[in-house]
Amino acid sequence: MKMVSDTLTLLNLGGAYPHQKYTIAVKGKTTLDLQHIKGKQVCVTGTFEMFKEQPEVVATQPQQIEVH
């Protein structure tokens, strides 16, 4: 997880940047807790986009992210 700014957090999955398989871009203020997410299943709904030839899902609302 990388907090780029107070309104953009990136979750790189399937490998460390820049070798991740895909990214979840959380736009807007978030209270994501890395220790709570690490090693757990994450379900995200949002818009699928390509960014610098890498797939990412963009979530803009907290309810779009579920941690199991």
Q: What pLDDT, on a 0 to 100 scale, did the predictor assign at position 29?
A: 80
Cβ-contact 40, 68 below 8 angstroms = yes
Is residue 59 classed exposed, middle or buried when 0-12, 13-18 and 19+ CB atoms within 10 A define those classes?
A: buried
From 61, 33, 4, 63, select the one nearest 23 (Cα to Cα): 4
pLDDT tens digits for the chain (68 residues)? Answer: 788 888 898 989 889 888 999 999 999 887 777 677 878 888 999 999 999 889 999 999 888 988 88
Q: What pLDDT, on a 0 to 100 scale, did the predictor assign at position 60?
A: 92
Q: 3-class SS at 66?
A: strand
Q: What pLDDT, on a 0 to 100 scale, did the predictor assign at position 56?
A: 95
Q: What pLDDT, on a 0 to 100 scale, did the predictor assign at position 1?
A: 73
